[in-house]
Structures are given as C-alpha cells and as structure tokens.
Amino acid sequence: MTAVTRFPTGGQYVDALQNPRLCFRDPELQTARPQADSLGRPKAISGNFASVFSVTTAAGQRYAIKCFTRNIPDQEKRYRAVSDHLRRLPHRWKIGFDYQPAGIMVAGQTYPILRMEWVEAVGLIRWIEDHLGDRDALFTLAGHFADLTNDLARAGIAHGDLQHGNLLVASDGALKLVDYDGMYVPALAGMAATEHGHRHYQSPGRANAGFGPDLDRFSNWLIYFSLVAISADATLWHTLHEPGGEHLLLTDADFADISTSTRMAALMRHHVEDISQLATQVADLATRPLSALPNLVPLQEINVPAPSTQAPTQTGLPQWMSSHVQKASPPPPALVPLGDHHQLVRWTRITILGLWIATALTLMVVAATDMVAGATTLLGLALALLASRAFYAFLPEHKVRKTIADQHHQAHRQTALAAKTTAILEKERDRRQGDDARHAQADAQSMQALRQRQRHELDAFDRATTTQVSPLNALIVSVSAKQREEINEALALLQQQYVTTYLKRFVLRSGLITGIGEGTVASLRAHGITTPADFRDVVYTAGGYGQRSEVHIVLTSGRSVHVHGVGETRAVALREWRRAHLDRALRQPELPIALPQTMLQQIEARYATERQRVEAQREALQRDRTSHRTALTQKHTQEMKQLTDTHNRRVQSATVAAQDIIRRISEERTRHQALIRKEQDLLRELQAYRHVSYGRFMRRVLFGKVRA
Amino acid sequence: MPYSAEISRSNPTCFVFLVDQSASMSDSIGGETPNSKAAVVSDAINRLLTELSVKCAKEEGVRDYFHVAVVGYGHNNVGSAYGGALAGRDLVPLSQIAENPARVEQRSKKVPDGAGGLVETTVTFPVWMDPVSNGGTPMRQAIEYAHHLVDKWLSEHPACFPPIVLNLTDGEANDGDPVVPAAAIQSLASADGPVLLFNLHVSDAGGSPVTFPDADAGLPDAYARTLFGMSSALPSHMRAYAAQEGFTVSEGTRGFVYNADITSVVQFLDIGTRASDLR
C-alpha cells in the first residue's frame, strides 16, 4: 500500500493563497495576485478533487492554478503522459498546462499544483441558454463537438469526463476542452481510471469499463444528440432541462431505466424524425458496453418540418415578385392610327351641318324670345354632339380599344383583389404562427409542471419506502452484530477454559519460585492457590489512615485475599510465574482459535431465524413497494404520454394548417403576379390605341380634309 | 443504493449544526494554547462554513448545494446561533451564508518560510458565530429542534442526499436522555437513506483524540460513549474517503470525533456530479 497523503482542504488553500510569495515555489507565481471574492479572499472554483484559483502575475500573465484536495494515484505520471501526448497534437481545443509536483506549500508541506493557461470562455450550459432558438448556432456547435470527438478518437485519447462543465465555448465559437485529470492516452494503458465521469453523462456500462480509448463513446453520442435536439426544438430545453440542473436533457436515472423514463419517451416520440431516431439510438447505446459503441457519426443537416417563415411583405412589390416585374418588357405593339373613315366623317359632317341649318331655320321662323333662342341653340349643339358620338361609336378601332380598356379595368380590379386576399392570408398566417408559439409555450409549461409534480410524487413515494425499509435494515445489522458478539464471547470462553486447564497442570511447589518456600506455599494453599489458574492478578490496596498498604491476590472468582507472608517481592514473583505460564498457554497450538463447527452452527441457527424473519418482512415490504412504484411510474408515463400526444397532435395539425396557408399564400401570389402581368400587357395594348380618341375624330370631322 | 443521491442546485440537501453553548463550555480544554471549549467549537463551526462555501464555489459564485442552520443550545433555550445579518435565521442557502459573515477577522499565523524558518503572516478568518457559554445543556431539546427543521426540509426535498446533523458538545446533557431524540431523528429518511447524525465531542477529560472510531472501547468516559452510541455509521463512500485519508475504518465506523478536527466531514461530501470515485 502506498503512503497515504492527506491533502489540504479548499479552505486551507484559500488561506495559503493569501500569501503567494510564501506559498508558491514558482518565482513567476510568487509575484501573482489571486482574483478575490466578495470578502476579499482568494476566489475558488471548486470541484470534488480540486479548487482552482485565477491569478495574475506581476507581468500581467493570467493563469488558472489547480490545487488538489484529494489524492490521485500516479498523478504526476499521468499528467506527464497526457502532456507528452497532447504536445504532438495541433488541435484548437487544447489548453496548455504545467504540472508542478511541489508547486505549493501549505502548513509546511508541499503539494502539487497544475498551472494552466487561462481561457476566456463560457460553460456549455450558459452558452446554450444564451443561444436558445438559434438553430444554426446550436447545430454548428454540435458539428464542432463532433469534430472534437473525432480528433480525440483519431489520436487514441479519451477524456474520461466529457460533460458541460468541461466544455467551454470561446467568443469566436471555438470549443475548448478542459480538465485532463482523468484523461486516457495510449501511454497510460494498463493503469486504472481515476474517476467514473459525471453521472449524467455516463451509461450504466461505464462502471464496468476499464481505462481505455472508448471511455467517451456514450458521452459523445449523448452530448451530440442533446445539442442537435435543442437546435431543432428549443422547447425541449424548457421541458427536459431542470433549471440549475447539472445535465443537458437527460439524467442518469433516464439511462438506468429507459422504459420508465418520461424524458426518454418524450424524445423518442418527438415529431421531428431526426430527434426521435437519435433518441432511440442513444437509448439503445445506453444498454450496451462502451467497447461495443460506434464512433460518433454526425448528421449532415437536420430536417425540421415546421413551417418556414418568410420575411414579412414590405410595402410595394414583394421581393420575390420584383424580379419578375423588372424583366425587360417586350417591345410595345405598333401604334394603331385613327382610320380615315371618309364615309363616316362625311356623314357626321352632313348630320352636324343639317342640325345647324335646322336650328337656324327654327330660330328665324319662330322669332322667339332670347331665352327660347338660347335653349334651342343648346339643344342643337347637344344633338350635334350626340350624333357625332354615335358616329364615333361606329369606328371599329374604337370598338377594339373599348374592349381592351374594359379588360384592363377588370384586370386592375382583380389585381387589387388578389393583393388584398394575399394580405389577409398573410395576416392569418402571422396570427396562426403567434397562436402556435403560444400553444407550444403553454404545452412546454404544462409538461414541465407535470414533470415536476411527478418527480415530487415519486420522490415522496421513495422517501416513504426508505423510511419503512431503514429500520428493518438497522435490525438486520444489529442482529448480525449480536451474533458476532456472541461468537466472540463463546470463543473467548472456550479459550479461557483451555488456558485454565493448561495452567492447572503447574502445581506450586516449594523452591519453584525464588523466595517462595514451604511456608508460603502452605499459606497460599490455605487460600486455595495451588496453580497459576487459581488467581488472576496481584494488587496493592491503599491502606487506611495510618496503615501500610497491603498486597492482595485477586482470585479467579474475583475476590481478593491477603495471604500472610506474601509481600511485594513475592507477589511480583508470583505474578511473573503466572504470566510466563499464561504466555506459554496462549502459544499452544491446541489453543482454540475458532469455535467448533457445531457450536458455530448452533449460534448461527439461532440468529438466522431472527434474521430470516426480518429479511422476509423486508422482502415482502420491498415487493409491495416495488409493485406500487411500478404502478405509479406507469401512471406517470401514461399522463406524460397523453400530454405529449396532445402536444404532438397540435404541432402536427398546426404544421398542416400552416403548410396549407402557406400554399394558399403562394398560389394567391402567383395569381397576383399573373394578374399584374396581364394588366400591364393590356395597358401596353391600350397604349397602342392612344390615337384612337373622340377628340381626334372630332378634329378630323371639323377641320380635316376629306378626299373625295 | 443509499447515500448516492446527487447534491446539486436542483437537488440540494441541508446541514444542521447543533452547538452546545452551556456554562460548562467555558471550561478550558488542554493543549499547547489552552482554549475554552466554546471557542474550539465556534472555530470549528466557522471553519466548517468556510469549507462548505469554498467547496460549493463556482465561477459565478457560491452555489446553493446546501442550506445550513447553526442552532445553539444553552442558557435553557435553543435557537439560531448566527450573528450579523443572518441572526435569528434557521436554514439559510449557502450562497447567502458565504456573502454574510458577521465579520471577517485578521488572524496572525506563523507559517514555514520554505527555508527552514517561520514567518508571521496574517490570514482572514470569516466569523459567523461567536463563542457563548451560559446556563444548562438542553441537548435533547436541540435535537428535537433539528428534528423539526429536517422533517420540514424532507417533505419539501424528499429525494435529497440525507440531511446531516452535526452536534458539537462537551457531552453533558441536562434535559434528559439525548439517545431517544437521537434515534428519532435518525429514523427520518429521504428516498436516499436515513438522516445522518454525527457528533463532535470536545472534552477536558483527557485521553488521546479519536477520529471516526468503530467501537467505544477506547473512549475516556460515559459521555463520549453515549455520543458514540448515538452517532450514525459513516456511509460507505465516506468510509472510503476516510480510509484514503489514512483513518482505519470498518463497517462499524461512526461519524464521531473526540477532541479532534471534524472539518474532514466536508471533504467526504461529493458535490453534484460524480458517479462514484475510484481508489
């Protein structure tokens, strides 16, 4: 067995670091100032094996100093091997360190320290919480993690304790791996592991795994899966990660009994197929030995069938449409001129002229008042206008233009309507998305509430079980203790009997002991002392006032007697004589060192009945409790299943509805686009008839030359 | 397996310190620099609170892995022994304890200078409670007080690592037999196992210091034997740590210390995370 080294406590290191000049051996560290806590004392960051302090040297160099609170066997050898192995690797995740075997002095003793490079980075859990909902960032980090595990696997290394606390994310998104205390490198083959890793990151198979390159296999899959799942569905973090919990989505209890784990059930039934498939795979891996687990194979991408949300429509043309509209327009159609239409122009002129003449004649014949004259003139003018419009309407190009204009007008109305419908649909989509998000959050909350209630219920049940079983355990322990005691007592009695028999063989005779003659032998015999078996000891009793102290011999019965003639010298000689024989007796091979089998069995049988009775009682109790517990967990699984199913159904129907509305929006947009094109085509066509107008026709009628 | 529950922020546990503040605690305990038993005990409590705070310190500060009560008993009453901002409070989350000592003392200390000599330095020493010694020793009442605290805690945290009650005394209860309430508090359990009752006996009865014995044979007096008898056996992983630290242990090893340092109990606690440790 190696010498036991008791290490200082975290508090003792805090005391020591108040005087860096005295505690450190490294001259650079002697100039350092530790970072202080709120009381002004060196601020520790502690784990179960060590406390780490951040110090800054006089030259401004910052280090993390790890001070060990528990002994780690072969620590120096391990760190050297890890250091040698890592030195050859170029990886970005490495943290530089320097093991100093006698780096710090505490209470006059030196202890090792690990001086480490200080990294500005945040822990994985905080990083996740800062990036919840950022699907790409989380998926990218999952990819970085997969790269890291492959780096380790290729180099034949296992970290041994992959978990959120040992994975830091730097501000540039780079993943940093820290804490190499339990690391396996090939040079350490054959040694034992120093730890089993974080409980929430190990499969039940870790306990029996040796110390080799496959230690991280399960943690690799678990961490990767968790990151991917959180990336695809951020609500999982709210429903499965306990606030402040030392885990990601799953805990050791989930791997220990997958069938009753509500967390596993929620993941394995998840509506995103990539999640449910990975969850099923992780659940399967938890049941296998580490050596049988494959290396991590990351996903290329993650398919989330949730509706993809488009950027909201800006004012004016939506972006997707402008590209169509801004295409070079086809060349405008040839201008359609106003035809000559001599006949029609002539007839129009004749009609107008006729009307004028008729009006003039009427005025002359009637010689009416001014007012009637004015009205008649106006009537004539109006009739002329009407007639000319009627003739214009006969123009064929006007007829064509009018049809196009009507079509354009209709197209314009339809376009406006389509835009309105699209806007309504988009509004509907936004409303639904808001509702879906609210429902998802409400579901997440009720799942979390249910989980907490179930956990409390199960914990309280387990507590009641322990409270009932513990007294029976204590009873069994005390029965065993009593049995052991009785066996020991029986053996002691047997040994005493043997010793007595042995001592009885040596009868005191005159001259056998120096100074003890016939007279003393007789006096002793008078008190029943003839062999070393007849007395136990010699004592000196304090005499009463004014009396001398007396020598007494303690008989086997416990009574002490004063034997006439036995003073201090003779008493000592007697005691020595007894002790010599006693020593010899105890060295005899015949001295019983164990109870005879029959006696042992008798005692054991007596206690076995009692123990069996209690054990049977305990077993019955445990059976009863186990069956009740199974019923309780089944009830829990059922409750959670109902809630999960409702949630999944809602998500699915929401997805369908969202897809439907998105399809409708897209159709409506296509229609809108087509209508706009149609409207523009018609407008262009209409433009070609810009010379076909009533004004031009009238100008022609009134002022145009008319060929015969 | 009992005593394997995780100690974490989402699954914290509690610590109840019971501190004898009776008149007999003013008696001096032998040693190079004689000190009253009350001073020895309050130093022990202050160190335990420091150790717990350091053990639970993380980047962002001290985490509430534990809620801790310091209950004084003496002067015929029982109640919180915290001074300063925490005065009057029972179970306090560890982060608040770490932030609120009654004061921080500067203590001078001679430390080896590394070149064979000694040099005097000062170190800070946070103080949460001061030595008090007055009146009788209502130990029975104190254990019952702890019983209430722990029972309430357990109903709220049924799956926690079993609460630890640590009684620091010179052993002379005068309000009846403490063995009965001691057994009662140990019959309380979380899902992870029965409550642990440990005892630190400070005494001027002499005899050599004893740490984590497994029998009462070597103990100097009846008080020590009574306290040993009412102490819980160390759970197996604590036994393993005790063995690592060089103590001889067996299945009967109990959480009892006679005139020796008890701070190692804190070292035996696994915070959070480890599945288990190997040797």
A2: confidence class by pLDDT, cuts 50, 70, 90:
very low
Enclosing H/E stretch for A112 = strand A109-117
Query: What confidence tens digit (pLDDT) does each residue in B55-110 have?
Result: 999 988 999 999 999 999 997 689 999 999 999 999 999 999 999 999 999 998 88
The CATH number covering residue A73 comes to: 3.30.200.20
A184 bridge partner residues: A158
Q: How far is residue A112's CA from residue A68's CA, in Å, rounded to a whole number?
A: 7
Cβ-Cβ contacts under 8 Å between A and B: the total is: 168
Which A positions 16-55 lie with beta carbon below 8 A of chain B? 18-19, 22, 25, 37-41, 43-48, 51
* A51 to chain B, closest Cα gap in Å: 8
Residue A201 lies in a domain: yes
- In terms of domains, do A126 and A214 share one? yes
Please state the φ and ψ torsions of residue A153, each to the nearest 5 degrees: -60, -45
- Residue-wise pLDDT for A533-585, tens only, equals 999 888 887 665 656 678 888 988 888 888 888 888 888 888 999 999 999 99
Which of A46, A250, A480, A628 best probes binding to B when mutated, by most B CB atoms within 10 angstroms? A46
Q: Who has greater pLDDT, A325 or A129?
A: A129
Q: How confident is the model at residue B69, as a pLDDT? A: 97
Residues A132 and A280 in one domain: yes
Best of A467, A477, A488 to disrupt the B interface by mutation (most B CBs within 10 Å)? A467
Question: Is B54's CB within 8 Å of A46's CB?
Answer: yes
pTM for this entry: 0.76
Among the candidates A232, A257, A292, a domain finishes at: A292
Q: Rounded to the nearest 10 degrees, what angle do helices A217-232 and A135-154 cross at? A: 170
Residues A70, B244: C-beta atoms closer than 8 Å: yes
In a domain, A157, yes or no: yes
Q: Is A163 an 8 Å CB contact of chain B?
A: yes
Between the alpha carbon of residue A101 and those of residues A24, A28, A94, A572, the distances in Å are 12, 16, 21, 58
Using pLDDT thresholds of 50, 70 and 90, give the confidence band for residue A250. very high
- Comparing alpha-carbon positions, the chain A residue that sits nearest to B251 is A477
On chain A, the residues whose CB falls within 8 A of the CB of B158 are 456, 459-460, 462-463
Distant-in-sequence contacts of A535-544, Cβ < 8 A, 24+ apart: A535/A574, A535/A578, A537/A575, A538/A571, A538/A572, A538/A574, A538/A575, A540/A568
Which residue in chain A has the smallest CA separation from B103? A39
**Together in a domain, A275 and A147:** yes
Do A160 and A266 have their domain in common?
yes
Picking from B58, B189, B273, the nearest residue to A466 by CB comes out as B189
Whether residues A264 and A283 fall in one domain:
yes
A98 vs B78: CA distance, rounded Å? 52
The reply to whether residue A195 touches residue B277, judged by beta carbons under 8 angstroms, is yes
| d(C-alpha A403, C-alpha A424), whole Å | 32
Beta-bridge partner residues of A554: A537, A560
To 10 degrees, what angle do helices A342-366 and A370-393 make?
A: 170
Query: Would an 8 Å CB–CB cutoff place B5 in contact with chain A?
Result: no
Q: Are B273 and A198 in contact (CB under 8 A)?
A: yes
Q: How far apart are CA A13 and CA A7, in angstroms?
A: 10
Rg for chain B (alpha carbons), in Å? 18
Q: A507 by DSSP, 3-state: which?
A: coil
CB atoms closer than 10 angstroms to residue A480 = 13
Q: CA A378, CA B277: separation in Å to the nearest integer?
A: 115
Residues A96 and A145 in one domain: no
**pLDDT greater than 70 at residue A307:** no
Domain presence at residue A695: no
3-class SS of residue A533: helix
CA distances from A445 to A271, A440, A635, A693 (A): 18, 9, 20, 71
Q: Does A696 reach chain B within 8 Å, measured CB to CB?
A: no
Query: What confidence tens digit (pLDDT) does each residue in A497-536 have?
Result: 999 999 999 998 888 888 888 888 888 899 889 999 999 8
User: Looking at residue A548, what is its pLDDT?
Assistant: 66
CA distances from A224 to A28, A95, A145, A282 (A): 40, 22, 7, 10
Q: What is the pLDDT of residue B214?
A: 87
Distance from CA of A71 to the nearest CA of B (A): 8
Chain B contact set for A459 (CB, 8 A): 157-159, 191
Q: Do A200 and A283 belong to one domain?
A: yes
What is d(CA B173, CA B180) in angstroms, rounded to the nearest whole number? 12
Q: A198 with A163: CB under 8 angstroms?
A: yes
Name the token pair of A632.
């309780």
Q: Is B244 in CB contact (< 8 Å) with chain A?
A: yes
For residues B212 and B234, the answer to whether their CB atoms sit within 8 Å is yes
**Domains, chain B, with CATH or none:** 13-267 (3.40.50.410)
For residue A379, the model assigns a pLDDT of 85
- List B residues 177-236 in contact with A (Cβ-Cβ < 8 A): 187-194
A308 domain residue, yes or no:
no
Residue A330, in any domain of the structure: no
pLDDT tens for chain B, 279 residues long, are: 789 888 888 889 999 999 999 988 888 876 656 688 899 899 989 999 999 999 999 988 999 999 999 999 997 689 999 999 999 999 999 999 999 999 999 998 888 777 778 888 999 999 999 998 888 899 999 999 999 999 999 999 999 999 999 999 988 888 888 999 999 999 999 999 999 999 999 888 777 888 899 888 888 888 999 999 999 999 988 888 888 878 888 888 999 999 887 776 677 776 554 433 332
Q: What is the dihedral of CA A411, A412, A417, A420, to 10 degrees?
A: 140
CB of A123 less than 8 A from some CB of B:
yes
Tell me the average pLDDT across A83-87.
90
Position A100 scores a pLDDT of 93
Contact B114 A38 (CB under 8 A): no
Condensed to tens digits (0 to 9), the pLDDT of residues A62-72 reads 999 999 998 88
Interface of B with A in 102-121 (CB under 8 A): 104, 109, 111-114, 119, 121
The beta strand positions in A521-622, using DSSP E, are 535-541, 550-555, 560-561
Percent residues over pLDDT 70 in chain A: 94
Chain A residue with minimum CA distance to B269: A48
Give the domain CATH number at A283. 1.10.510.10
Please answer yes or no on whether B54 and A10 come within 8 Å at the CB atom. yes
User: Are A140 and A95 in the same domain?
Assistant: no
Element (H, E) at A311: none
Q: Measured between CB atoms, does A15 come within 8 Å of chain B?
A: yes
Among A292, A312, A334, residue at a domain's last position: A292
Same domain assignment for residues A111 and A133: no
Alpha helices in A132-261 (DSSP H): 135-154, 217-232, 235-240, 252-256
Tell me, what amino acid is at B24? Answer: S
The answer to whether A206 contacts chain B (CB < 8 Å) is yes
Residues 502-521 of A with CB under 8 A from B: none
Q: What domain count does chain A have?
A: 4
A202 and B56 in contact by Cβ < 8 A?
no
Examine the fold and report which residue of A355, A376, A394 is the final residue of a domain before the chain moves on: A394
Give the 3-state secondary structure of residue A446. Answer: helix
Q: Which residues of A touch B241 (CB under 8 A)?
A: 70
pLDDT score, position B171: 83
Name, in order, each residue with C-beta under 8 angstroms of A79's C-beta and a sequence gap of 6 or more.
A97, A99, A114, A180
Residue B111 CB neighbours (<10 A):
19
Chain A, nearest residue to B125 by Cα? A15
Q: Predicted confidence band at A115 (pLDDT cuts at 50, 70, 90)?
A: very high
Helix extents (H) in B64-104: 94-99
Which three-class secondary structure string do you get for A465-482?
A: HHHHHHHHHHHHHHHHHH
Contact state of A196 with B274 under an 8 Å Cβ cutoff:
yes
**Residue A66 at interface with chain B, using a CB cutoff of 8 Å:** no
| Partner A contacted by B99 (CB < 8 A) | yes
Mean pLDDT of A333-353: 84
Q: CB-CB: which of A19, A70, A206 is closest to B275?
A: A206
In a domain, A424, yes or no: no
Q: Which residues contact A119 (CB under 8 A, 6 or more apart)?
A: A64, A95, A168, A170, A176, A178
Pairing verdict, β B13-20 and B66-74: parallel
Residue A621 lies in a domain: no
Cβ contacts (< 8 Å) between A14 and chain B: which residues?
Answer: 50, 54
Contacts of A192 in chain B (CB under 8 A): 278
In a domain, A625, yes or no: no
Q: Do the chains contact at B101 and A39, CB–CB below 8 Å?
A: yes
Q: Which amino acid is at B33?
A: T
How high is the pLDDT of residue A144? 94
A51, A69 Cβ separation under 8 angstroms? yes
C-alpha span between A548 and A550 (Å, rounded) = 6
Per-residue confidence band for A305, with pLDDT thresholds at 50, 70 and 90: low
User: Other CB atoms closer than 10 Å to residue B211's CB: what's the count?
Assistant: 19
Surface-to-core class of residue A206, CB atoms within 10 Å of its CB (0-12 exposed, 13-18 middle, 19+ buried): buried
Return the exposure string of A536-570: e unless at least 16 CB atoms fall within 10 Å of the residue's CB, then b.
bebeeeeeeeeeeebbbbebeeeebbebeebeeeb
* Amino acid in the structure at residue A375: A
Q: Which of A500, A522, A670, A668 is nearest to A585 (CA)?
A: A500
CA atoms within 13 A on the CB side of B88: 1
Please give the residue range of the domain that contains residue A267.
122-292
In Å, how far is A84's CA from the nearest CA of chain B? 25
> Nearest CA to CA, how far is A48 from chain B (Å)?
6
Asked if B252 lies within 8 A of A44 by C-beta distance, the reply is no
Distance between CA atoms of A222 and A277, rounded to whole angstroms? 13
CA distance B209 to chain A (A): 18
- A244 contacts B8? CB cut-off 8 A: yes
A191/A162 same-domain check:
yes
Structure tokens given for A642 = 């109902």
Interface check A252 vs B, CB under 8 A: yes
Q: Do residues A94 and A144 both lie within one domain?
A: no
SS3 of residue A651 by DSSP: helix
3-class SS at A123?
strand
Kindly state whether A596 is in contact with chain B, defined as any CB-CB distance less than 8 angstroms. Answer: no
Do B8 and A245 make contact, defined as CB atoms within 8 angstroms?
yes
Q: pLDDT tens digits for A631-647?
A: 999 999 899 888 888 88
The rounded distance, in Å, linking the Cα atoms of A94 and A552 is 80
Strands B196-201 and A550-555, sheet pairing: unpaired
Question: Is residue A132 domain-shared with residue A107, that is, in the same domain?
Answer: no
pLDDT at A178 over 80: yes
Q: Is A173 helix (H, G, I), strand (E, B) or coil?
A: coil
